[in-house]
Structure 1
Amino acid sequence: MRDFFLTHEDRAFREEVRAFMSRELAPKMDLIERDQDFNTQLTVARALGQAGYLKLMFPDLYRGALPKPGLIHAVIVSEEAAFLNYAFETTIATALSCAYPIHRFARAALRERYLLPILEGRSLGSICMTEPNVGSDSASMKTRIRFDEVSGEWVISGLKRYISNASKADVYIVWGVTDPEVPPQKGLTAILIPADADGMSFPRLYDFMGRRGSIVGEVAMDEVRVPEENLLGELNGGFKIMLSAFNFERVILGGSGLGVARSAFEIASQHAQERVSFGQKLGQKQLIWDMIAQMSCKIDASELLTHRAAKMYDSGIGGKDLMREASQAKLVASETAVFCADRTVQILGGDGVTRQYGRAEQLYRDARTLPIVGGTSEMCKYLIAAREMPSIRLNL
């Protein structure tokens, strides 16, 4: 039984979201993938915001029919969006990853100014962690943040790369070092920077093999100045914010991977039941049913792990107590997406690598991003093992 962890109410919500995506996103998939039309994404994002689907993580702001909205419902939205177009899902998931720390850690005036426009689909947000020499190793961050006592402003300098929504977002959350004399986990700070701040620039946009239509690039800060109130949380408290943001992002990415995997599986299983080869349906051949069975098992495992992590979060579990489960969800779902996309291309043969015969080749390109973004598969395995062996200090 799929959707094992979902209530009847959750399942009804999924059908509602699926109908919304079929109406608003499905007709625009070619414009996003083929034409890389970002304005089309903004149009669908606005519709999502107007429908209230971007407020699911924020019960104090949500005004929809669900009595207890939460991360499980945001995961459902992510899954259904990624099922149709992972590029679009990346755009809105990044915006939500920015909205989450604003809602939780920003001062009231800052929340009022920046949060609602994102959640209503009127603006975009972005998060800036990765640097030219810093991926999973956030402790080696080179971006510097200092406080100017004379002007009462934070001053930020550094370069971030592989930033989703770069140059398109209206607000950026940037992590940097405020105290280089202490261990990195105790000297990081998170700052909110509006896109139009002096000293902000976007030197380069990347051309990825997958997620065509999403915008990913560099964000450079040259002595950018923002008011004191733009501090998120506490001075040198950025690592705590980063940890909570990663948990949120990894569970959402579980939904992303699940959506991509389901989309590939649907194509493969349908083809196996229709295509005749050597006088038999493909699905009657042992090598094919083996692939279908493996995909089915991996998708169920991904769903169970992702929904469990989301339900745990919604029950109040977070921080290090959710790190293992969030990492498991992200690891298994992202690897499952790659496996299902690869096997689908194999089952379809020549049709699988040809754009004229469907979306299999697109899913193959899209899926490969998932084991890298939001913490690599290797980093997820480290975090899982670290929780399972607390008496051993693992060596990265």
Structure 2
Amino acid sequence: MRDFFMTDEDRSFRSEIRDFLARELAPVADAIERDQDWEAVKRVVRALGQAGYMKLMFSDLYAGNLSKPGLTHAAMLSEEAAYLNYAFETTIATALSCAFPLHAFARPEIRERYLTPILEGDAIGSICMTEPNVGSDSAGMETRVRFDQQTREWVIDGFKRYISNATKSDVYIVWGISDPDVAPQKGMTAIAVPATTPGISFPRTYDFMGRRGCVVGEVTFDNVRVPEENLLGEENSGFRIMLSAFNFERVILGGSGLGVARSAFDIARDHAQSRVSFGQKLGQKQLIWDMIAEMSWRIDAAELLTYRAAKMYDSGLDGKDLMREAGQCKLVASETAVFCSDRTVQILGGDGVTRQYGRAEQIYRDARALPIVGGSSEMAKYLIAAREMPTLKPNL
């Protein structure tokens, strides 16, 4: 049994969400991958919202069967969705990453206007952090945010890229520098921007090698003006808001990586037990044993780290107290997804790189994004080392 950290209620929820996704997502997973069918994505998002699953992270809004819903169950949702289609999981994970700061930092009227439709499955959200010179290092952010005292509006000018759900979202959480005379960490502000605001444009969307069906692109903000109440938190508190979302995002990505790794492993294991080569089942050969064994222990390690971090978060730990554990789960789960997808293709041979023979090549393409998105593996190692050696400042 892999679910060491789980209660009976957790196990029951996993069975429930697995059955739900088997009904709603599995029948359209191929269309999302093959045709990049956004209408299919929206239908499943709507079904998740109507069933209440988009509210798992928000105990004050959740009305389902769980006595204590939380990140543990949101990670399960991500794991089971990514097992079937990682592109779809990216769409809902991004929407939840937008919902998280709205729930924690938006004014009541803004929460009602933008958060409620996302959680009910009627809207999609995005977060806008990454820029041409900003990935893991937010200090280089060039987007500017200023407050117009005469009109009582926030004005945003800047360019963001690699934005999941770009062109499809109903609301964007945008980070920009509001005080260029101080360190970026003390002069950054976050604003909720509805997609219909004049001045927003989408120069292009990207054609990725994997995660086909998840729309990712560029967003330009040219003199974009939104009302004063669209501010999240306080002016110049955007960096703190950003950090508060990171642990949540990394644990969710731990679930994503785990789902992708499990999907690859199941294909490899089934093939090793059925394919005959040189008069024996492929799985009887020592080199194949080695691959299957290593995939198995890596998946168990990823699961233990992911759900340890999720349970710690649900017990009330966050911020620097969870930075190491969240970094470890994201690092190990994402690297495990890449390892398992690579070994699965190797075990399948020619069938592994051919679309006509199943999903192995798709999973291989999908998995490669995981050590990059949501903070690279290198940044995860930095976070882990920074907690282990708090008296030193690593040289990035």
TM superposition score category, shorter chain reference: over 0.9
Corresponding residue of 2:361 = 361
Corresponding residue of 2:257 = 257
Show the 5 A alignment for 1:195-234: 195-234=195-234
Show the 5 A alignment for 1:368-383: 368-383=368-383
The answer on 1:151 being equivalent to 2:151 is yes
Q: Which amino acid aligns with 1:368?
A: R
Q: Which amino acid aligns with 1:292?
A: I
Unpaired stretches in structure 2, ≥5 consecutive residues: none
- Equivalents in 2 of 1:391, 1:282: separation in Å? 51
- Equivalents in 2 of 1:240, 1:306: separation in Å? 23
Deviation at 1:98, TM superposition (A): 0.2
The alignment yields a C-alpha RMSD, in angstroms, of: 0.6
SS of the residue corresponding to residue 224 of structure 1 reads strand
Deviation readout 1:181-203 (Å, 9 max, x if unpaired): 11111111111000000101111
- Equivalents in 1 of 2:198, 2:177: separation in Å? 20
- Equivalents in 2 of 1:104, 1:96: separation in Å? 12
Show the 5 A alignment for 1:297-312: 297-312=297-312
Deviation at 1:234, TM superposition (A): 1.1
Deviation at 1:278, TM superposition (A): 0.6
Show the 5 A alignment for 1:345-356: 345-356=345-356
Corresponding residue of 1:120 = 120
Show the 5 A alignment for 1:4-83: 4-83=4-83
Show the 5 A alignment for 1:321-360: 321-360=321-360
SS of the residue corresponding to residue 295 of structure 1 reads helix
- Equivalents in 2 of 1:270, 1:30: separation in Å? 20
Q: Which amino acid aligns with 1:346?
A: Q
Deviation at 1:64, TM superposition (A): 0.4
SS of the residue corresponding to residue 34 of structure 1 reads helix
Corresponding residue of 1:318 = 318
Deviation at 1:325, TM superposition (A): 0.8
Corresponding residue of 2:279 = 279
Corresponding residue of 2:192 = 192
Deviation at 1:145, TM superposition (A): 0.2
Deviation at 1:393, TM superposition (A): 1.0
SS of the residue corresponding to residue 236 of structure 2 reads coil
Corresponding residue of 1:161 = 161
SS of the residue corresponding to residue 35 of structure 2 reads coil
Deviation at 1:120, TM superposition (A): 0.6
Q: Which amino acid aligns with 2:101?
A: P
Deviation readout 1:272-304 (Å, 9 max, x if unpaired): 001111111111111001000000000001000
Deviation at 1:133, TM superposition (A): 1.2
Task: Provide TM-score, normalisation by structure 2.
Answer: 0.99
Q: Sequence identity of aligned pairs in percent?
A: 77
Unpaired stretches in structure 1, ≥5 consecutive residues: none
Corresponding residue of 1:294 = 294
- Equivalents in 2 of 1:322, 1:260: separation in Å? 24
Task: Provide TM-score, normalisation by structure 1.
Answer: 0.99
Q: Which amino acid aligns with 1:60?
A: D
Show the 5 A alignment for 1:71-150: 71-150=71-150
- Equivalents in 2 of 1:395, 1:236: separation in Å? 26
- Equivalents in 2 of 1:243, 1:285: separation in Å? 48
Corresponding residue of 1:385 = 385
Matched residues, number: 396
Deviation readout 1:256-287 (Å, 9 max, x if unpaired): 00000000000000100011111111111110
- Equivalents in 2 of 1:321, 1:231: separation in Å? 27
- Equivalents in 1 of 2:125, 2:312: separation in Å? 26
Deviation readout 1:32-82 (Å, 9 max, x if unpaired): 000111110000000000111000000111000111100000000000000
